A and B are shown apart, each in its own frame.
Chain A
Amino acid sequence: MDAPTLAVWKFASCDGCQLTLLDCEDDLLMLAGRIKIAHFLEASSATVAGPYDVSLVEGSVTTPSDVERVKRIRAQSKALVAIGACATAGGIQALRNFADVDEFRSVVYARPDYIQTLARSEPISTYVPVDYELRGCPIDRGQLLELLGALLAGRRPQLPVHSVCFECKARGTPCLLVAAGTPCLGPVTQAGCGAICPAYGRGCYGCFGPVAATDPRALLAKLRALGMSADDLRRAFRTFNAAAPALAAIEETSEP
């Protein structure tokens, strides 16, 4: 049997998630023995034509040509995995979704008519079916290896949909919200990072995006009680996953 092929694609993004794959170092070498990396411009300019067994897609869809390209990628991929906050929620660039893009275009560019852009920065799943999503800004190396390992073994990957608090408790970090009064978005943020920020005394800033099963508005009263102003709250929720529907809904209700 030929080794399964892997392709890595980039849309509007910073490349950080793709770099996570390169950061896998020894594990990547082990993987390289079992799969064929057919398209990964970050690592090599040599590419192999599709179809591909697995496509990792980084970045959000922001232009009309992106829409066409992501459809072509989908058509050539057996499994399509959206990686990172941009590909799963629209990324920080989805702040445009809350503003008037034409106005930006006319202020920023000398020749706005040269700029073809969509009004919204959208996750991959807006335009094509996605098989798996890896959250995070950037994604977690362990989750990426878990997913690729599971696909190779033909088993279900472990991609929890519960809160970051699970991981805090498993590693024995005393809760920052309770014991320090430090704002933390962990209870409404999806696990996967290993609760790394709270372990270093820093509140979770939500880079893995909202837990699907919770309305994050239930956390607002606590955050206000800890002294966060309406502006602070808006900034806290308007980051990498600002356009995720559960967070976007907060924006509407907490406008001053």
Chain B
Amino acid sequence: MAALLTSLDSLVAALRADRRQVIGPTVRDGAIVLAELDSARQLPYGWGVRVAPGGYRLRERADRAAFGHSAGPQSWKAYLHPPRTELWSTRRGESPAEPDEPPPRYAFLGVRPCDLRAIGVLDRVLGQGKYPSVRYAARRAATFIVAVNCTEPGEACFCVSAGGGPKAAAGYDLVLTELIGADTVRYVVEAGSEKGERLLSTLDTYPADAATAEASAAVDAAAGRMGRALPPGDLRALIAEKRDAAHWDDVASRCLSCANCTMVCPTCFCTTVEDTTDLTGEVAGRWQRWDSCFDPDFSYLHGGAVRTSTRSRYRQWLSHKVGTWHDQFGEAGCVGCGRCVAWCPVGIDLTAELAALASEETAS
């Protein structure tokens, strides 16, 4: 049953009272980043963004919306699958010990439907299957998710053509829809799990009544306002066919191999391991850190790297995202959040690159 909140203060307070670390959007360094929130007052009320390939600027909104912005430079991946984590450490003469602190009790506030799907993708890559990551699974199980339906897609967004949409499907504990008035904001809230029900029952809410219809209309309208779209057709087949396309050279001449696209992508999961020793020679450890197929060392085997050109590295990235991910995990690796488009320093836009590959096919 939907209910209505006239502020998010009580929600954040209740999550914190439940001993949760609330992570949500807030303004820092000219962007809307994810950070720990002490109170709902730190949400980016009144801030929107202007996004273009390779460009992102904050802009002031005429209203007080907290979620009137599209994806920033980070994703929830930074919390569920952190950039650097310790796998084990040991002292000379002892056996290796894994860190044994309990997983953080996160509450993610403001997970977009695209990012909710991305968490689902990560779950299938890291949390399930034959060799699940125990650490990932533990973090994930301890996390409470407050999703927010999307009423304002950005210029780089294309979730609809990536098989999703602005309405959160499964996988949340609570879901909000922000109703933006002239100088008020209200939130229609629904539970998606027992945990969510329980938390919701502790909040003072109003009956949602007509607000429910208003909320669905706003979300439905968002579906028609995507900034971009993937080209139609079977992208997996397209990628397989276009292995030798001339267009890979074209994109390689613009691509910096800098890996920003994979780092901001909410589903890119690749890591490497690093061994450490301290200067006394008594303590050794092993750490996992984010890696990327754009790292020249990523494909290093004895004698050198397999992918030595930017062409081969960019092709690996795009092929994996929309092609070979299907072979590995039974779905695409792209949810259409638009981050890689906005946060590529030189504005390489995968929707445009795929369209160019598709048209090269028709030309030949």
Contact = CB atoms under 8 A, between A and B. Distances in A.
B310 A214 contact: yes
Interface residues of B, number: 50
B254 interface: yes
Nearest to B344: A178
B290 interface: yes
Contact of B345 (A145, A161, A162, A177): A177
A150 interface: yes
B281 A187 contact: no
Nearest to A173: B29
Given A170-B290, A177-B54, A212-B296, A30 B279 contact: yes
A61 interface: no
A145 B33 CA distance: 33
Contacts of A256: none
Interface residues of A, number: 45
Contacts of B83: 169-171
B29 A165 contact: no
Interface string B140-165: 00000000000000000000000000
A245 B259 CA distance: 23
Interface string A172-188: 11110111110010111
A155 B285 CA distance: 12
A153 B275 CA distance: 11
Contacts of B362: none
B294 A174 contact: no
Interface in A172-207: 172-175, 177-181, 184, 186-188, 201
B264 interface: yes
Nearest to A28: B279
Contacts of B254: 218, 221
A173 B74 CA distance: 9
B274 interface: yes
B256 A149 contact: no
Nearest to B277: A153
Interface of A: 27, 30-31, 34, 145, 148-150, 152-153, 155-156, 158, 160-163, 165-166, 169-175, 177-181, 184, 186-188, 201, 211-215, 218-219, 221-222
Interface of B: 28-31, 33, 54-57, 72-74, 78, 83-84, 253-260, 263-264, 274-281, 284, 289-290, 292, 294-297, 308, 310, 313, 342-347
